[in-house]
Chains A and B, each alone.
Chain A
Amino acid sequence: MYTELFLIAVALLASGFFIPLVFYSRDSRIVRTLASSCTILAAVFLGMVSVPILLGGNAIAFTAYQPIILFSLSFVIDRLAAFFLLIIAVVSACVAVYATEYYEHLGGGSRRNLLSGGTSLFILAMVLVVASANTISFFFFWELMAASSFILVMYEYDQPETRKAGIFYFVMTQLSTMFILFGIIALYARTGSFAFSAAGSPATPLIIVSFLSLFVGFSIKGGIIPFHKWLPYAHPASPAPVSALMSGVMLKIAVYGLVRFLLDVFSPDLWWGILILMFGSLSAVLGVIYALKEHDIKGMLAYSSIENIGIIFMGIGLFVIFNAINLPLLATISLLGALFHSLNHALFKSLLFLSAGSVVHATHTRDIEHMGGLAHRMPWTSALFFTGAVAIAALPPLNGFASEILIFISIFSSIAVVDPLLKVLLLVCLALFALTSALSAACFVKAFGSVFLALPRSPESAGAQEVPPAMLIGPGILAIACIFLGLGAYQLFLFAGFSVPLPDMLFIGFLLLLMAALISILLYFTASRAERTSETWGCGTHFQEASAEYTGHGFSEPLDIIFSSIYRTRIRNERVFFDKKNCIFREGTAEIRLMKVFEEYLYLPLAQFTVRFATLVSRFQNGCLDTYLLYVFVTVIAVILFLGWF
């Protein structure tokens, strides 16, 4: 029965793709709402398939199309796949609800039909990647996912920055596909099959090559530093629902791919885990440090996604390490932490992207320095963003904390049992993880503070209005899910059959409420109830202006200076004086230059090398018939010689 439900969901998503395209010439809201409704309905069916399997039901498997023995498009939904299907289902349903309203406010006429249909196709591709039973289907739908998301990113193709983002995204995503294809072929060369089946225990060089290229492929897609550069370009350029889907779900598909290959195909060595852990820690800490510096609200969220994918990779790395040194219990806790964080990040990051989309919609700017004071103007959106911020800052009792504490617990408990050198590595990662977590709290204090609190810093922000209900309901469901998963984390794990050493967050939440209630009652009877809204003391100024407020830049200034060696900020300050003792200032220049380290040292040199190489190759093609005849002649001679000698 689950097979049929799954097929209905796929059919619904496909119709969600075709309906707006068939009626492409009709620029009407009904068409797009119909497409979104198909997505929502499909998500419900997907949820009905995945939840029973996730809770321990039997896996389903079927083959859809098999032209020859070797190639087949077949699907299997086991517990791992069901978990990721659930992530896709929940997020895409909420995004679809949001999109029904959001897409109507975009420019572009009937091009919006393409956007709406493309969203459904994108979701469909992701569903099929996760459900794929062999590497061929996996690769096929992976490429479909990459292509459909590229179309979505390019929606506002008339903007120059979108074009730049599009090129970046296209190159990186194709690079990722190439690496994954290479990994799959290397795997095929070793095992002779395209199935997700064990590749044999002693890792031969071919298997190591296969793992490394798959790892690079998934890292590019997941935005692991230094392969991350497409994220901060593509996310701000795309419409909010697309960013939410890409960041919330597509990055998790990369996580899914890595976990799937590690669990089913490879039998990883210790150093694989160390590699994953190190890349994860690096991404986590650098991601959040760059996020702090970012003042484009969606760019900041993109960097924060890099950070969270880093945390997830840390969990996966720990899982591999603990498995390799035979600590199955800690390995399970780490993997559960990584997977739970994938779910949580999908929820709160799409919540944040959607509510950031509402803010951008209301203020027509992405620069947080031009916002402010929105808590009064958009109370619901601010409450939603606030929930997301508390969750992503990993504060109890919300869900971000529940998954991060699992990874903390696995590191804490492992320190006693692993060998000394590994201990030192784990301690360094622990310190970096703690730094990441604290910096992300700082980052979201800054984000929420500059966007929603104090006075508006621009006329657009002052005139902002609350968004329509559909744009509140979608993220609203996500916010409720964040609270629910946080409070019920312990019980949910028990329900799914895992006994993890999590604190009982429901009890903690109850205690928090109890204490707040007790204090309120106590205050009600003992304290003065007088309240007044007035001007508070502003250190002698008559009235306060928005220009006197602490800005986002100002807020992150101390951290900018502390981490200036990472940002590679160059401050140049040249002064010319009238006198010899440098007292009377004549003129001067000052400049603060921010370097984009990875772009300038890694991406551009690589791109320049490619261009140079291409120029070299292109000399062979000079458009002159004689030259081509010469090539043919040389080739013929070479073939004859080759055949004659061998």
Chain B
Amino acid sequence: MSYDFILYLVINTVAVLATAPLFVSLIKKVKAWTQGRCGPSVFQTYYTIAKLLKKEVIYSSRSSRIMRVTPLVNIAAMLVAALFVPLVFVPEPVGGIGNIILFLYLLALAKFFMALAGLDAGSSFGGMGSSREMSISAIIEPTTIIVFAALAFVFKTLNIFDMFARSAASGTITTPILILIGISLFIILIVETSRIPVDNPETHLELTMIHEGMILEQSGRNLALMELSAAIKLTLLVALLVNLILPFGLATSLSFAGLVVAAVLFVVKGTVLSGIIGLFESSMAKMRFFQLPSLFAMAFFFSTLIIIIEVFA
């Protein structure tokens, strides 16, 4: 393992931890504006996490060890997954870091634990969330894998690092195929981060809650970790999207100036995408749960179409 790579591990982890809460708040801010409200500060998520860390943790008397380890497993899986998506600097991949399938399954690992934690305390709300989350994640999976296969096909590699490097090397002009893949990735982002029209991150109503239902029993520092993991997941998918479609500024060699430029550009690109997500969410209504499969089927055919176009082109 080279010195560069160790430095990458540190830079990327720090970058993702620092920016993750920002994008969550930005989306909230945009949604508030479209509703004619002023909305919370863009640093609100940082404050919330800091506040939660100071609070006491309450465990249900029925809950088992699953409840206690889930926040830790979740954040660890997310931070390792974060190493797979370079935010600002793309080094040479080492030891399978960056493998796109492993990335997907690290997210699944976190989800598996979270769903079990939802069932752990025996409250019907947690179970509801777990059941819905596992159902949705199962039926979106074919779409996700087809989109990732399309990415692997277009970039001729299975490694996210190489994808980014190739995308950055090819310049700023994005191909039509990449834009189409970008749309599919956007749908996956919406589904995976539990946003409208799939889920509503804002409410705790039993009709809408999926992700929020699962973490209803969490409190204190555990809740802080869960919130942070959710924010990191959002950031990772945002980074995947922007660094593939708009790779300009991404540093491929290690220099201080390059890193600063890349970091600033990443925040700008992420902010724009957060704005788009916020507008998208505001323009939509939450869909009925059992209408989701048809939405996913649409996304599936859309992404299959891309590959077919690419295949026969």
Contacts and interface: CB of A to CB of B under 8 A. Distances in A.
B115 interface: yes
A555 B290 contact: no
Contacts, number: 248
A314 to B, nearest CB: 14
Nearest to B135: A558
Contacts of A555: 119, 127, 130-131, 134
A442 B131 CA distance: 8
Interface string A36-69: 0000000000000000000000000000000000
A424 B308 contact: yes
Contact of A559 (B65, B125, B130, B135): B135
A516 B74 CA distance: 9
B80 A395 contact: no
Interface string A421-442: 0011001001111110111011
Interface in B150-170: 152-153, 156, 158
B58 A445 contact: no
B127 A375 contact: no
B311 A420 contact: yes
Contact of A427 (B108, B217, B307): B307
Nearest to A445: B115
Interface string B43-79: 0000000000111111111101110000011011101
Contacts of A535: 60-61
A406 to B, nearest CB: 10
Interface in B238-272: none
A430 B152 CA distance: 13
B9 to A, nearest CB: 8
A556 interface: yes
Interface in B205-219: 216-217, 219
Interface stretch (B23-31, B32-40, B95-103, B178-186): B95-103
Contacts of B83: 511
Interface string B82-116: 01000000000011110101100110110110011
Contacts of B144: 434
Interface stretch (A258-266, A518-526, A568-576): A518-526
A503 B95 contact: yes
A4 to B, nearest CB: 42
Interface residues of B, number: 81
Contact of B58 (A431, A448, A536): A536
B204 to A, nearest CB: 9
Contacts of A562: 135, 139, 290, 293
B142 A431 contact: yes
Interface stretch (B191-199, B220-228, B277-285): B220-228
A390 B113 CA distance: 9
A97 B278 CA distance: 58
Given A415-B152, A442-B135, A549 B53 contact: no
Given A501-B158, A558-B131, A437 B141 contact: yes
Interface in B281-309: 289-290, 293, 300, 304, 307-308
Given A442-B138, A556-B131, A528 B220 contact: yes
B121 interface: yes
A532 B149 contact: no
A327 to B, nearest CB: 15
B187 interface: no
A516 B72 contact: yes
A513 B69 CA distance: 12
A405 interface: yes
B141 A435 contact: yes
B300 A431 contact: yes
B176 to A, nearest CB: 19
B3 interface: no
Contact of A490 (B54, B96, B112, B221): B96
Given A441-B108, A445-B134, A416 B153 contact: yes
Interface in A507-539: 507-508, 511-513, 515-516, 519-520, 523, 526-528, 530-539
A473 B307 CA distance: 49
Given A531-B57, A548-B124, A453 B64 contact: yes
A528 B56 contact: yes
B121 A536 contact: yes
B117 to A, nearest CB: 9
A330 to B, nearest CB: 13
B273 interface: no
A109 to B, nearest CB: 38
B34 to A, nearest CB: 30
B101 A441 contact: no
A108 interface: no
A520 B72 contact: yes
A507 B95 contact: yes
A550 B131 contact: yes
A633 interface: no
Contact of B149 (A430, A439, A544): A430
12 contacts: A393-B112, A396-B102, A415-B149, A424-B311, A427-B304, A433-B145, A441-B138, A519-B75, A530-B220, A538-B123, A550-B124, A561-B290
Given A449-B119, A558-B132, 14 more contacts: A390-B112, A416-B153, A430-B146, A431-B300, A435-B142, A449-B115, A449-B116, A453-B64, A523-B221, A531-B59, A534-B58, A548-B124, A550-B119, A558-B135
Interface of A: 372-373, 375-376, 382, 390, 393-396, 401, 405, 408-409, 411-413, 415-416, 420, 423-424, 427, 430-435, 437-439, 441-442, 445-446, 448-450, 452-455, 490, 501-505, 507-508, 511-513, 515-516, 519-520, 523, 526-528, 530-539, 544, 546, 548-550, 554-559, 561-562
